[in-house]
A and B are shown apart, each in its own frame.
Chain A
Amino acid sequence: MAPLLKVENLRIELSLRGAVAPVIDDLSLELEAGETLSFVGESGCGKSMTALALMGLLPDVGRVAAGSIEFNGEDLTTASDARLREIRGNEISMIFQEPMTSLNPLYTIGEQIAEVLRRHQNLGKTAAHNKAVDLLDAVRIPNPKARVNDYPHQLSGGQRQRVMIAIALACQPKILIADEPTTALDVTVQAQIFDLLRDLGRKTGTAIILITHDMGAVAEMAEKMIVMYAGRKAEEGPVDTVIEHPRHPYTKGLISCVPHLMANLTEDRPELTEVGGIVPGLKEFGRDACLFASRCAMAQDKCRTARPPEMAFDGEQVSACWFAGDV
């Protein structure tokens, strides 16, 4: 069976000030129904741009320069705007980082959920309202019958993010894209949101694409992960394999530069591994070289003059590093 989502050799270019930069450079991925895939990387690495491309919401200065995005066998890169609008919010939906600003303060949360249902599923007013109550219940908002008439400002940050999830799930999408859904939330609330997403994914078979910079969240949530760096795929593979044995120095750096809570804490506190420097600017994107070379401790001349190909390892792990075998 063909995968639910198949992205092949996708290249997205932004034209800025006369120059063209490939913010997504030759990206391929596959996503099955019910799977959770995570994009990891620092800011400016193209994680969010990938999400926008999947939603057909690229900024005006961006365009798909090459490749395809096949959703259920249909190429979204050539689909009409009307068709994309039909898919958006209905079959692929998205939740954003900032739950404070992504709800309209002038409407009750019930109205905002019902609006989506009426637009995409042609439900009547009462039916939509009742479904909204059900959805609030599904995202575990206590006393949904009363809360459905609340305005966004009456809810806490965690509850607003639940409402966002309810809106995203209203039409039982096949794919839910979550762009840093918990960055603005407290850690106990984050845990609840993660639980919720996981349960909903299991129950409805919705595939989840989780965009994050937190390796811990990836480890908790996802089955597959893609590490992005400067618009390119640095590494891809099953989460446990990659975290256990990263094959790209960038992945390794991302894991070991953060102090994690471990099963048994000891007195021993080694220095954190530093990944010097910062993500290169857009001007650098697209060069025929490993873009991570300037920050990499293992970099050789080869890394600076030729772009490394993707090398496959056991267990579906793929790494774009000349020295992936040595990492």
Chain B
Amino acid sequence: MTFVRTLLSPRGAVFLLLVILLVAITILNPNFADPGQLMRFVQRVAPIAIVAIGQYFVIIAGEFDLSQGSLITAQVIIAGNLVGQDDSRTVPVLMLMMVFGAMIGLVNGLITTLLKVPSFIVTLGMMLALLGGVMWWTGGAATGNPADSFRQIGRGGIRDLPFIDFLPWSVLVLAAWLALGIWLTKRPYGKVLIALGDNARAARYAGARDWWVSTRAFIISSLSATVTAVLLVGYAGVHPSVGRGYEFIAITAVVLGGVVLGGGRGWIVAAVAGAFVLEALFLLLNIAGVPSTMRDAVQGVIIIAAVAYSGIAFRSRRRGAAPHASPDQGKEPDASPDGAEGQSSAPPALVSEGIPETRGD
């Protein structure tokens, strides 16, 4: 009963939807159940899931990062132009990309927090600035793909494994990045971030250094975009259109995962599941032979329906949940935003960043 309720809850709905989509894909194309195909599917989702992880940290803090897509494009072009055909440059350029990514995140974060410019505007400006910079630098066309050693990260993997046959590197990268993300959300930093998104004033009164907490979220987001760029250089190659629209896909994935826009509520794993749902949806439409011209419309309707469902489920749950509050309410990030369970967000709000984590949740 609890299990069913969890699945139907906004937090669980994304997993339910994912299962339904995967089953539908398998019915339409039995080849998909083959472990090798599944691995290729995960490989394909990895870039989107990683930007979604980055976007999760920003959204949970109550901000947006619209510059992710452009940053991916910029990083892809940097990789293409700087690595060239020289294998020995792979590692230095990777380092450079990480530094560049962190710098963009730092700028986004500092302008948002210190100059009090809404992050929507800051990152929108950054998106245009990066895009314009890329166009100016490249004249709209890539010079060419970088050396194969660089591309192996997104394209290659461990071959001839028993059972799964092929384990792409990008699957391992995704697993590592997700583990890192989960670990961060369990750390005091993650708690403060959620507190900040839920009630920035309370978090400030509690002593959180909000400017640095938010800024780090932007840096995480930009670093995620950078990792995605490294994977995409391998998977797709260098092209000025790589990364286009990823910020919206990431936001959509995060929201499909039940993370509340405006911050303070959401689970990182569900955000990643949201990315899987989106990509599974695209795949299903492909396999089902939905006419190309109709695909955008179908996608849009399904996404609206999914989010509307989570909104309705939210409300009905709140009505139903009041009399018998569940014992694990403290762990429910999507617990009722007001009313009986409202205090779930209060404890994190009181925790300042420096105090060691001793609370039960």
A and B held together in a complex: no
